[in-house]
Structures are given as C-alpha cells and as structure tokens.
Amino acid sequence: MGRFFSGGRDLGKGAFMEHRIFSMFVDLVQNLAVLLVMAYVTTRVPRFGNLLNRRFSLKSDLLLGLVFGLISIFGTLSAVKTSGVLANFRDLGPAIAGLLAGPVAGGIAGLIGGAHRYLLGGITGVPCSVATVLAGLICGGFYLWKRGRPIRIWEAAAMMAGVTALHGFVITPLVLGLSEEIRQILRTVMPPMLLVNCAGIALFFFILHNLNRERQNEAEKHRIDSELRIAREIQMGMLPVPSQIGDPRFAVHAVLKPAKEVGGDLYHCFIQNDAKICLAVGDVSGKGISASLHMAITQKLLKALAQSGEEPAELLERLNRELCDGNESMMFVTLLIAFIDLESGKTVFGNGGHNPPYRIRQGGVSRMVLEPGLALGIREKEVYTNQQLCLEAGDTIFLYTDGVTEAMNGRKELFGEKRLKAVLTRLQDQEPEAICRGVLEEIAHFVGQSEPSDDITMLALRLKKAGAAGPAEIR
Amino acid sequence: MKIWSKRQKDVMILAVQGRLDAATAPLFEEQVLPMISAGDKNFLLDLAGLDYISSAALRRLLLFTKRAEDQGGRVVLLSVQSHILEILDMAGFTQLFDIFADQEEALRSF
C-alpha cells in the first residue's frame, strides 16, 4: 500500500513546493466545502434540533459517533494526493463529534475513522489512526471540561489546531522517528491540513451558532407574538358588544380593527336609565403598544366616570383632568361623546378634538357641525361645552376615528371624507351592521395590499321609527 | 421628511418638509428636542412644505412645544396649508398655537 507516500522524491524546493502546497490547499478546501454543505443540510433537519449546548443520550452518542466516523472516512477518501503525499481532514469528524457530544461520540468517530485508515496501511498508518482516535477523545475531554457551556468558534478552532499539531509534530515523529522523508512529508502536508482543519471546524461551529441564534430569535418572536395576542384579547375584552343590546328603539353596531395586534382606538356604548343611549368613540395618539396602554386607561376611566350621570362636557372635563395627570409624554386622546334621548331624539355632544360624526337621513348624508374642543390630556383646566342637535326617528348617526378617512393606499393617498360620504350615501338605507361592513369593505378595496396605516373604529346607531319593532320593520 | 433650520436672532426657524407620520415622527423628535437641550427655546415652524401630519406626529409636536414652554419659550406656526390646518383644527390644536401667514410678522411676535 505504498501508494500513499510513493512520490516523495518529486518534491522540489522553493517556488515549486509552495505551488504544490497551495494547490493541495485549494483541493482540500473543495472537499471540505462538500462536507460543510452536508453539515448545513443536516443541521436543517428539524429532528436534529439544537446540536450546541446540549446533553445527548448514549444512543445519540453512538449515532453521532457513527455519522462523524463516516465523515472521518470521507476525510480520508477525499484526501488530496499531491506528489504522492496525502493531505486530509480525517481528524475533523472525530473532533467535531467530541466537541458536540463528549468523549464517547468522539472516541467512536475516531475509532471508525482510525480503523479505516489503519486498514489502508502505509508508513503513516499507525500514527495517523492513533491520532484520529486521540482527536476525538481529546475534544470530548474538552466538552466535559466545558460542562455544558456552548463551545465558541475560536475554542473549536484552537482545539482542532492542537490535535492536528499533536498528530503531525508529536505522534508521527514518536512512532516513525524524524527521518528526512518524514520531515519532507510533514513540511508539505501540515500547513494545508492545519489551515483547512481549523477553517473547517470554525465554519462548522459558525453554522451551528448561526442556526442557534436564528432559533432563539424565532422563539423570542413567537413569545412576543403570543403575548401580543393575549394583550389583544384583553383589549378587545374591554370593549362592549353593542349589537347584543336588544332594544326595539334602535339598532347599533360597532367595529374596531387595530392596525397592529393592539391599538389606541376605543369606543363605549351603554344605556342610561332606560331613557338615553350613550355613545363614545375615541382615538389615542399613535398606535401599537404605547397607544394601547393609554387606550385601556381611557376606556376604564370613561366606563367608570360615565356612571355618574353627568352631561358629556362635564364627563370630558373629568376625564381630561385624569388624563393630564402625569402625562409627561403628551399622549393625547380625541374623544367624542353623544347622549341620545331615545324618546325625543335630542342629542347632546361633548367633543374633545374628535372628528364630527355623520348623520344619515333619508335623502341626504351630512357631516354634523360640532365645535372641535381640545383633545384630552393636554391642558388640565380645559373647559368643554355641551352641544345639542336633534336626531329624527329613522336617522342613523355614524361615529368613526380618523383611521377610516386616513386609511392609505400604496400611492400614499388617503381614503378621505369624500369617499366615506359616498359609501354612506350608497348604504343609507342599510342597517348599522351593514353600513359598518360596507365601509370596511370599501376601505379594504381602496387600501389594497398596503399595510393598515391606523386603527379603524366605527360606531353606527339607527333610531327606529316609533311603533316599528325589530328587524322586521317595513319602511 | 426633512427639516431645515436657520437662526434669526433668538428664534430658531425650522422648515419642515414632507410627511410627518408614524415612521418619520420619531425622527422629528430626535432632531428638534436636542435643540431645546442646547439652549434654544423660541421656535418658528414653517409648515409650507408639510404634506401630512398623523396623530403620532401631533403628539411629538405637542411634546416639543411643552418642552419649549417649560424653558420659558414659545413655538409658533407659519404657512400652515389648509388640509394641515383642518387636522390641527379638528383636534382643537389651533387654540394651542399662534399661526401666522407672514414670516416677518411671526418673528415680530416673539
């Protein structure tokens, strides 16, 4: 089996030899690339899981030992023969197995790779096979010493350099002596082997570390997503479901669609003393998590304060004082409150900087004219006024947030009041639920594939004509 | 969104151009708040080139104004386009700011 080292005499000196070493290096890298692609593919197999920082069962040790033993054999078989001298990365497999899973896996991989090398014979057969087994065992020892802490990339490279040097500079001379022939072989083979082995193991661990980080990021993202989902459930749970109020005097429907998981829009709807229905729609500046915290505060305050029976303006003033308290970040809320007398249709509004509602009446849709008032949370002593308008039986009042009119399409155009008015006109004979659904559909059509730009809230209420009862009403 | 700044005596003139929305509002804050820390307190915001302002950006504008006022200064607005004025008016913000159409007049107000 002299073929492994048969051509020692060809080795020249100087530039020629450097060229040999270089081409040997290039070929080794090519073979290594095959190995790394294999490694990459294996680490992508889900059941392989996280190879780093993990304890393995004996069965897994055996399996890893076998796999990396085969890789070790691949390292031998793919060895590059230049001038009859073989440079190889046989030690790489056992070293990786050792670093990943300890001396059992490393030792098994080493034994497989080493036995295979021993059977091939040649003058370096004995030292090479011994070195391969030792590489697995030593790296396995390092794994034990690390006590489960993940192996860093430079540590893996340093261990690989150590066992390769041990192979070339200690074991081989110990077994074979340091004849001129051996020196020649070592001089040719060691530089590319050291480089390729270290680069190979560094790359392998780089892949593992990357994969690990990716999985951690995924896990983190999953955790945040599930927390946001819970926050969304809590937020949605704070809102009343007006369509559940079964009252023959009116039909009411509300829609709230946050642009993100959670949002800053809010609404409220309740009946006071069986005589009035109170509607409120609000919008916290901004969107997302910060807005949602303020939304929750405002929603709860509104719900609590509204029980006092005060008029809308007084309610706004009390809410405003609470919201101004400690508001360093200048989060503000626009809020529109309407108390509608179910008998007379007399409606009292209090407006804290919110867009005025639309009134849908047979034969015409109009934006109600309300004084703006200042948004809440800005000036503590702000005074609001009660503004009175009258609704007639059959009228529908449509409250909304600017997420409706400022819904944006891909060309950065806004949905706008004009489009909203057109949809409302088209749907003027519909029930509140159908109106809300129709507007939502129109917005979705307008926005197309663009991300929602703001939270969307609509609250529509239709006063039924006296004597008419339930959905079976005939007009 | 772009901001050009120019000092005229003790008034810092800031010309804001483009869109102030959820994406650009933090940039606005990052650029203007340090000016207050650096000692400026009187600001003239030229909004002639402002195309859009979102509620998130309004909050930043308020915060900026509050900080300036905390230092004894003032923020006034110049050349506010009608559709921006409509947004400001809707939230009742026109009562918070002095709004001018003429720069000289605005500067004289300080």
Q: CATH number for the A2-222 domain, one of 1.10.1760.20, 2.70.70.10, 3.40.605.10, 1.10.10.10?
A: 1.10.1760.20
Whether B19 is in a domain gets the answer yes
In the prediction, which pLDDT does A282 show? 96
| A473 pLDDT more than 50 | no
The widest CA-to-CA distance across chain A, in whole angstroms, is 116
| A153 pLDDT more than 70 | yes
Domain that holds residue B68: 2-103
Strongest mean pLDDT among A161-175, A192-206, A448-462: A448-462
Nearest to A283 among B21, B55, B62 (CB): B55
Other C-beta atoms closer than 10 Å to the C-beta of A151 total 22
Phi and psi, residue A50, nearest 5°? -90, 115
| A350 pLDDT more than 80 | yes
Q: Which residues contact A399 (CB under 8 A, 6 or more apart)?
A: A267, A279, A281, A336, A338, A357, A458, A459, A460
Q: What is the pLDDT of residues A194-248, one digit of tens each?
A: 888 898 899 888 888 888 888 889 999 999 999 999 999 999 999 999 878 888 9
Nearest to A286 among B19, B55, B93 (CB): B55
Residue A156 pLDDT level (bands cut at 50, 70, 90): very high
Whether B30 is in a domain gets the answer yes
Å from A165 to nearest chain B CA?
56
Å from A348 to nearest chain B CA?
19
When pLDDT is averaged across residues A264-286 and rounded to a whole number, the result is 93
Supply A350's token pair. 């209090």
When pLDDT is averaged across residues A323-347 and rounded to a whole number, the result is 93
> d(Cα A218, Cα A3) in Å, to the nearest integer?
51
Supply A19's token pair. 């060229």
> d(Cα A296, Cα A301) in Å, to the nearest integer?
9
Taking CA–CA distances from B20, the nearest residue in chain A reads A286
Other C-beta atoms closer than 10 Å to the C-beta of A469 total 11
Residue A4 pLDDT level (bands cut at 50, 70, 90): very low
Q: Which residues contact A262 (CB under 8 A, 6 or more apart)?
A: A228, A231, A232, A235, A288, A289, A291, A292, A295
Helix (H) or strand (E) holding B31: helix B25-37
Residue B82 pLDDT level (bands cut at 50, 70, 90): very high
Whether B80 is in a domain gets the answer yes
> d(Cα A475, Cα B14) in Å, to the nearest integer?
58
Å from A257 to nearest chain B CA?
17
Q: Point out which residues pair with B76 in neighbouring strands.
A: B44, B98
> What is the value of pTM for the model shown?
0.74
Residue A129 identity:
S
HSE toward the beta carbon, residue A306, CA cutoff 13 A: 22
In the prediction, which pLDDT does B108 show? 92
- Write out chain A residues lying below 8 Å of B60, CB-based: 330
Q: Which residues contact A443 (CB under 8 A, 6 or more apart)?
A: A404, A407, A415, A456
In the prediction, which pLDDT does A39 show? 73
Å from B41 to nearest chain A CA?
18
Nearest to A402 among B55, B63, B92 (CB): B55
When pLDDT is averaged across residues A271-292 and rounded to a whole number, the result is 90
Whether B109 is in a domain gets the answer no
In the prediction, which pLDDT does A12 show? 46
In the prediction, which pLDDT does A89 show? 84
| A52 pLDDT more than 50 | yes
Whether B110 is in a domain gets the answer no
Whether B82 is in a domain gets the answer yes
- CATH 3.60.40.10 occupies which residues in chain A? 238-463
More confidently predicted of B45 and A17: B45
Number of H helices, E strands in chain B: 4, 5
| A271 pLDDT more than 80 | yes
Residue closest to B96 by CA, chosen among B52, A307, B68: B68
> d(Cα A11, Cα B70) in Å, to the nearest integer?
84
Residue A84 pLDDT level (bands cut at 50, 70, 90): low
Other C-beta atoms closer than 10 Å to the C-beta of B42 total 21
Supply A9's token pair. 């005499």
Residue A31 pLDDT level (bands cut at 50, 70, 90): confident
Rg (CA), chain A: 38
Alpha helices in B52-97 (DSSP H): 55-70, 82-90
Do the strands A456-463 and B2-8 form a parallel or antiparallel pair, or are they unpaired?
unpaired
Asked if B90 lies within 8 A of A412 by C-beta distance, the reply is no
In the prediction, which pLDDT does A178 show? 79
Whether B108 is in a domain gets the answer no
Q: Does B23 touch chain A (CB under 8 A)?
A: no
**Interface test mutation site (partner A, options B59, B87, B88, max chain A beta carbons within 10 A):** B59
Strand, helix or coil for residue A450: coil
Q: How far is CA A337 from its chain centroid?
A: 38
Asked if A329 lies within 8 A of B59 by C-beta distance, the reply is yes
CA end-to-end span of chain B, whole Å? 27
Å from B59 to nearest chain A CA?
6
Asked if B62 lies within 8 A of A332 by C-beta distance, the reply is yes
| B76 pLDDT more than 50 | yes
Asked if A374 lies within 8 A of B93 by C-beta distance, the reply is yes
Other C-beta atoms closer than 10 Å to the C-beta of A38 total 13
| Total residues found in chain B within this entry | 110
Nearest to B63 among A330, A354, A406 (CB): A330
Asked if B93 lies within 8 A of A334 by C-beta distance, the reply is no
Residue with tokens 């600017």: A402
Rg (CA), chain B: 13
Residue A9 pLDDT level (bands cut at 50, 70, 90): very low
The widest CA-to-CA distance across chain B, in whole angstroms, is 34
Q: What is the pLDDT of residues A397-442, one digit of tens each?
A: 999 999 999 899 998 888 999 999 999 999 999 999 999 999 999 9
Q: Does B85 touch chain A (CB under 8 A)?
A: no
Here the CATH number for the domain that contains residue B97 is: 3.30.750.24
Taking CA–CA distances from A406, the nearest residue in chain B reads B54
In the prediction, which pLDDT does A475 show? 40
- Please state, rounded to an integer, the average pLDDT across all residues of chain B: 92
Residue A187 pLDDT level (bands cut at 50, 70, 90): confident
Supply A368's token pair. 């109600």
Structurally, chain B folds into a number of domains equal to: 1
Architecture of domain A238-463: 4-Layer Sandwich (3.60)
Q: Which of residues 89-108 of B touch A (CB under 8 A)?
A: 89-93, 95-96
Whether B44 is in a domain gets the answer yes
- CATH 1.10.1760.20 occupies which residues in chain A? 2-222
When pLDDT is averaged across residues A151-165 and rounded to a whole number, the result is 92
Burial (CB count <10 Å: 0-12, 13-18, 19+), residue A460? buried
Supply A195's token pair. 């480089």
| A265 pLDDT more than 50 | yes
Residue B51 identity:
D
- Please state, rounded to an integer, the average pLDDT across all residues of chain A: 86
What interface predicted TM-score (ipTM) does this complex get?
A: 0.89
> d(Cα A457, Cα A183) in Å, to the nearest integer?
82
